[in-house]
Structure 1
Amino acid sequence: MEKDATYAKDGTVDYHGNPSNKKETGTWKACPYILGTECCERLAYYGMSSNLVLYFKHRLNQHNASAANNVSNWGGTCYITPLIGAFLADAYLGRYWTIACFSSIYLIGMTLLTLSASVSGLKPTCYAKDKCQATDTQSTVCFIALYQIALGAGGIQPCVSSYGADQFDDADDSEKKSKSSFFNWFYFSINIGALLSFSLLVWIQDNVGFGWGFGISAVAMAIAVLSFFSGTRLYRNQKPGGSPLTRICQVVVASFRKYKVIVPADKSLLYETANAESNIKGSRKLDHTNDLRLVSQLPT
């Protein structure tokens, strides 16, 4: 009983790979680092992206239609890449390493974008205010940085909120109640980052320069990375469970091969693992149900 009260029951482990000690890891001890990461990442993202159309138009000398189209394509990519990040996190890397790797890619992209807007030779040549000309190389560097940011965002966006939820054990009633409070603070952090971006950083880009605006966003992303790594010793980590596509294919094949099998009314007669946990790391056993039955039972 004492051991059950000491360790989390949801299968999470600490950064050493040992069962999570509830007194030393997770809950509100770990969440401030995750909330700080999200707030700074959103500040960096919105601060960089809110004025991209104007940057393409006035600095890269693109027409309105081309600038809007390029921003739309980039924004669409930012919404597609989370599919990659979510798959890698659940199947192979786990949420911690997915956030760690992709946030580093994100920071490199933000740094490169800042250099492309401020360093001589990389930034477009301006002859007057809002009248600039960019070479093909300068435009290429800018777009490489932007799509590197899109890739980095794809590893952070689908994982941060779930990683925060991992810090609370659903088997513990007090921690389960605290999880809802975490999500309130999580969305509050997003809104704080967005508020600072749309007010302060947009003003800086319009009145001081894009180099300064992108630079502050890059610094905010650096703080996000630092905040995330600072909480490493306190995090609870779910083990990745392997590719879900493989398991889906196994279910489909088994369904076709055994569609004539009569399902016994007593579930204890079914062939399955005897213990309460799933054999798939990071997953739980599913309760039996008839709701998804597709083929009627055939008489022998």
Structure 2
Amino acid sequence: MGGQSSHQHLEDNSKPYTGDGFVDFQGTPPLKRKTGNWGAWPFILVCSLTPSPFSTGNECCERLAYYGIAKNLVSYINRKLHEQNVSAVRSVATWAGTCYLTPLVAAFSTDSYWGRYWTIAVFSIIYFIGMCTLTLSVTVHAFKPAECEGSVCPVATPAQYTIFFSGLYQIALGMGGIKPCVSSFGADQFDDTNTNERVKKGSFFNWFYFSINIGSFVSSSLIIWIQENIG
């Protein structure tokens, strides 16, 4: 048994191409020594600065962004857009529900047309544009209502609502494109026909969920502290 296992291990490592039937984004079998494995994990798990296809889907930043928005959203709509609590909660609940329905769109596009790589790339760009739109809507004075003066609080105009919620729903669409693809896309980087890489795949999932929780923890603590103490 030991001899057979060692022989199989040597066979696995001697193959120039992966043996599990996957192809790269150009449709060709990937070379083991140049692609996949741990070389791809920083772009999936760790923060990067540009929304290119080579830096998309990183879970830590995505979770930090999502929870950083979601946990502050009711208070922002109530205090800055001057909606009543009931209306603010309803708006946030509708948005959050949409975030968890949009993966159906991504699942269809992934399985039928684009594949995981291009689905993650396209929807990450949508996510990025939504973040930029939302940032503009809360920083540019013309895009948000004026502050309250005493008990008088001006209501947001239709244009201000449109900019704010278009950013939110672009984020919902972008998140839906990333979530059903990124974990399996990360697992695809490891060749199941290679004994060592099967073990590494298990390690990848450990780090994957660790990065999710780190992003959630930072957004639930640091971001909330900034909101309450700085603004």
- Name the TM tier (shorter chain): 0.7 to 0.9
Runs of 4+ in structure 1 off by over 6 angstroms are: 1-4
Contact 1:117 1:123 in 2 (8 A): yes
Match of 1:142 in 2: 164
The unaligned stretches of length 5 or more in structure 1 are 210-300
Contact 1:104 1:152 in 2 (8 A): yes
TM-score by length of 2: 0.85
* Larger radius of gyration between Structure 1 and Structure 2: 1
Match of 2:189 in 1: 167
Match of 1:269 in 2: none
The unaligned stretches of length 5 or more in structure 2 are 1-10, 47-57
Contact 2:12 2:194 in 1 (8 A): no
Match of 1:195 in 2: 217
Match of 1:93 in 2: 114
Out of 56, 60, 63, the residue aligned to residue 42 of structure 1 is: 63
Instruction: Establish whether residue 155 from structure 1 lines up as the match of residue 177 from structure 2.
Output: yes
TM-score by length of 1: 0.66
Q: What displacement does 1:18 show? A: 2.1
Instruction: Establish whether residue 208 from structure 1 lines up as the match of residue 208 from structure 2.
Output: no
What is the letter of the counterpart of residue 72 of structure 1? A
Q: What displacement does 1:33 show? A: 1.2
Match of 2:16 in 1: 6
Match of 2:134 in 1: 113
Q: Deviations over 1:230-278 (max 9, x none)?
A: xxxxxxxxxxxxxxxxxxxxxxxxxxxxxxxxxxxxxxxxxxxxxxxxx
SS at structure 1 position matched to 2:189: coil
Contact 1:59 1:132 in 2 (8 A): no
SS at structure 1 position matched to 2:198: helix
Higher helix fraction: Structure 1 or Structure 2?
2
Contact 1:34 1:164 in 2 (8 A): yes
State how far apart, in whole Å, the 2-side matches of 1:129 and 1:198 are.
31
Q: What displacement does 1:17 show? A: 2.9
Out of 106, 110, 124, the residue aligned to residue 103 of structure 1 is: 124
Q: How does 1:118-137 map to 2 (within 5 A)?
A: 118-128=139-149, 133-137=155-159
Q: What displacement does 1:27 show? A: 1.0
Match of 1:272 in 2: none
State how far apart, in whole Å, the 1-side matches of 2:41 and 2:215 are.
17
SS at structure 1 position matched to 2:15: helix
SS at structure 2 position matched to 1:23: coil
State how far apart, in whole Å, the 1-side matches of 2:30 and 2:206 are.
24
SS at structure 2 position matched to 1:10: coil
What is the letter of the counterpart of residue 114 of structure 1? T
> Identity percentage over the alignment?
56
What is the letter of the counterpart of residue 107 of structure 2? A
Contact 2:83 2:155 in 1 (8 A): no
- Relative distance call for 1:196 and 1:28 in structure 2 (3 A) is same
Root-mean-square deviation over aligned CA pairs: 1.9
